[in-house]
């Protein structure tokens, strides 16, 4: 991968993270949370390469496109399945103008808050 391709990928990933964060803030009962151990991995990456990530958002790529794993906590008063589905749809729709490379958006509910 050339330096230019690398910079383009970083810019795309940054736009994706910003878009996902905005979509999640539209759901007051949801907030992004980092999976167990994720923060220490992120700290190591930041120290070694000087890159920053967004806790709660993982972007994977394969030959068919990008897969997003979005980890959230939800308020216990909400219907977990319904809110997760609505959040997934909102994230998916918000990302459509950015790229056609996204093939999956997974919402992982890691915590239920009281």
- Give me the domains of the chain, ranges plus CATH numbers: 3-113 (3.30.300)
* Strand 30-32 relative to strand 102-113, pairing: unpaired
**Which two tokens mark 74?**
């939800």
Task: Please give the pLDDT value at position 92.
Answer: 93
58, 45 Cβ separation under 8 angstroms? no
Task: Please give the pLDDT value at position 53.
Answer: 63
Average pLDDT value over all residues in the chain: 82
Region 95-99: mean pLDDT is 82
Task: Please give the pLDDT value at position 59.
Answer: 86
* Strand 30-32 relative to strand 65-75, pairing: antiparallel
Task: Please give the pLDDT value at position 24.
Answer: 94
Q: Could you give the CA distance from residue 32 to residue 103 in angstroms, rounded to a whole number?
A: 21
Residue 7's pLDDT band, with cuts at 50, 70 and 90, is confident
Reported as a single tens digit per residue, the pLDDT across 42-90 is: 544 444 444 556 778 888 888 888 899 999 999 877 688 899 999 999 9
Q: Could you give the CA distance from residue 93 to residue 61 in angstroms, rounded to a whole number?
A: 19
pTM to 2 decimals?
0.80
Residue 6: pLDDT above 90? no
92, 56 Cβ separation under 8 angstroms? no
Work out the percent of the chain whose per-residue pLDDT is above 70. Answer: 82
Region 12-33: mean pLDDT is 91
């Amino acid at each position: 991968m050339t330096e230019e391709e690398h910079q383009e990928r970083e810019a795309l990933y940054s736009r994706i993270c910003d878009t996902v964060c905005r979509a999640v803030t539209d759901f007051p009962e949801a907030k992004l949370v980092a999976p167990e151990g994720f923060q220490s991995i992120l700290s190591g990456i930041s120290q070694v390469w000087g890159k920053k990530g967004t806790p709660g958002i993982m972007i994977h790529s394969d030959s068919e496109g990008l897969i997003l794993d979005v980890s959230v906590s939800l308020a216990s008063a909400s219907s977990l399945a319904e809110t997760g589905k609505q959040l997934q749809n909102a994230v998916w729709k918000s990302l459509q103008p950015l790229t056609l490379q996204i093939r999956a958006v997974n919402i992982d509910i890691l915590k239920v808050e009281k």
